[in-house]
């Protein structure tokens, strides 16, 4: 079985708090460069592009495939993301106690997938579960290393109608966080195709061993991303952010269904979801977007105005993005690229009209300065 190698990165994260004060300056310097975009290419004789893993079938089959195909990367992720957490040596047992307490709130299908993934990868199940929700679990504490769960920030938007040059719906998200150092070995795009009775297929941009990821698009055209928010109300028995996000991606086909899931689900702590839907012209369904700002006690929904829904926890200027989105000659990832920072770990653009997603990741920092790879969602989420 896997054993965590203790090595604290607390000093680096505390130094990172000072660097956060310089983020605005860094943003200005990095916006000058246009994004580089390329088409995804198949890996060898496989019709699945490099950097993508397809997981299909029952929860057990999906978990087993995940743990088997990405075993080495999962070990690297857990050793880095969990074993190097500031305070793991002293607070790890308490964090795992909180994690085990929360398990009772999770859907059975999720727990079956988690168990199968952990077994196939040779990772302790509770340690792997902690990796899904480390920020939430640490955020339940008071003082000490737990305070470092507040380092980070993200930007997400949904734009359509008057907010894009041609009126077509577009969405974007930057995942900005102090996290994994071994990103090149661990980043992945998962194409998860459950049995139809278990929910919708979806793409997830994240890391090996993370069952949901931070940016997701499902086969119904629903886009969802999470941003850090620090409301005070918490519930140790509630569902953590990434797991709730995964539930929405697999179970919701519309924004209203996503909102209802957030409202009806016990929630661990405050976050914001930015959700968007490309609409269905043939069915007369228009595009839509919203921000859902919530904590353990309250849910506030902010619907898109003038075709624009937006949230940031890193200080991005929404007018900067709207100006770029109004340019008909720009590249697909131009707007979200412009919001990148020195702590961007992945950057994603989604065009509903093309049913395609552009992903830049795999760098230890400033992922938006790397190459955006375009993936065709329909082919990756096909049901055979």
| pLDDT above 90 as % of the chain | 77
Check if the beta carbon of residue 299 is closer than 8 Å to that of residue 291: no
**Residue 193 burial by Cβ neighbours in a 10 Å radius (0-12, 13-18, 19+):** buried
Domains and CATH numbers, the chain: 37-149 (no CATH), 151-380 (3.60.60.10)
**CA 271-338-242 angle, 5° bins:** 25
Residue 41: is it exposed, middle or buried by C-beta count within 10 angstroms (0-12/13-18/19+)?
A: exposed
* Alpha-carbon gap, residue 158 to 321, rounded angstroms: 10
- How far apart CA 174 and CA 156 sit, in angstroms, is 6
Q: What is the pLDDT of residues 101-131, one digit of tens each?
A: 999 999 999 999 999 999 999 999 999 999 9
| pTM recorded for the entire structure | 0.89
Encode pLDDT of 235-258 as tens digits.
Answer: 999 999 999 999 999 999 999 999
Q: Which pLDDT tens digits describe the chain residue by residue (384 residues)?
A: 455 554 444 444 444 444 443 444 344 344 445 899 999 987 665 678 989 999 999 999 999 999 999 999 999 999 999 998 888 999 999 999 999 999 999 999 999 999 999 999 999 999 999 999 999 999 887 544 454 444 567 999 999 999 999 999 999 999 998 767 788 899 999 999 999 999 999 999 999 999 999 999 999 999 999 998 877 799 999 999 999 999 999 999 999 999 999 999 999 999 999 999 999 888 889 999 999 999 999 999 999 999 999 999 999 999 999 999 999 999 999 999 999 999 999 999 999 999 999 999 999 899 999 999 999 999 999 987
Q: Rg (Cα) of the chain, in Å, rounded?
A: 19
Helix (H) or strand (E) holding 301: strand 299-303
- Of 99, 177, 103, 179, residue with least CA distance to 141: 99
């Amino acid at each position: 079985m896997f054993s965590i190698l203790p090595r604290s990165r607390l000093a680096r994260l505390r130094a990172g708090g000072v660097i956060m004060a310089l983020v605005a300056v860094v943003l200005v310097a990095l916006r000058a460069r246009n994004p580089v975009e390329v088409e995804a290419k198949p890996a060898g004789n496989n019709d699945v592009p490099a950097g993508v893993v397809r997981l299909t079938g029952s929860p057990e089959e999906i978990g087993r495939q995940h743990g088997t195909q990405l075993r080495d990367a999962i070990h690297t992720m857990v050793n880095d993301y969990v074993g190097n957490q500031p305070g793991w040596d002293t607070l790890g047992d308490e964090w795992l106690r909180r994690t085990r307490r929360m398990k009772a709130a999770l859907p059975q299908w999720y727990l079956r997938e988690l168990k199968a993934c952990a077994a196939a990868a040779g990772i302790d199940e509770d340690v792997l579960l902690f990796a899904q929700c480390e920020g939430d679990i640490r955020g339940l504490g008071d003082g000490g290393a737990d305070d470092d769960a507040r380092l980070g920030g993200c930007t997400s938007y949904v734009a359509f109608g008057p907010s894009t040059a041609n009126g077509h719906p577009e969405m974007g998200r930057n995942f900005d966080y102090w996290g994994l150092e071994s990103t090149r070995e661990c980043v992945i795009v998962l194409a998860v195709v459950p049995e139809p009775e278990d929910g919708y297929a979806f793409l997830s941009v994240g890391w090996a061993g993370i069952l949901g990821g931070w940016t997701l698009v499902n086969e119904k055209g629903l886009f969802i991303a999470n941003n850090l928010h620090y409301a005070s109300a918490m519930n140790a028995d509630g569902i953590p952010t990434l797991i709730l996000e995964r539930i929405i991606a697999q179970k919701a086909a519309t924004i209203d269904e996503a909102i209802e899931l957030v409202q009806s689900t016990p929630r661990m702590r405050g976050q914001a979801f930015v959700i968007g839907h490309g609409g269905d012209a043939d069915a007369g369904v228009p595009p839509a977007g919203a921000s859902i700002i919530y904590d353990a006690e309250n849910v506030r929904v902010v619907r898109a105005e003038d075709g624009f829904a937006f949230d940031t926890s890193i200080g991005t200027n929404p007018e900067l993005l709207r100006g770029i989105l109004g340019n008909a000659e720009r590249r697909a990832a131009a707007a979200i690229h412009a919001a990148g920072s020195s702590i961007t770990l992945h950057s994603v653009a989604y065009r509903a009209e093309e049913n395609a997603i552009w992903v830049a990741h795999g760098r230890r920092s400033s992922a938006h300065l790397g190459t955006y790879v375009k993936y065709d969602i329909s082919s990756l989420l096909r049901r055979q």
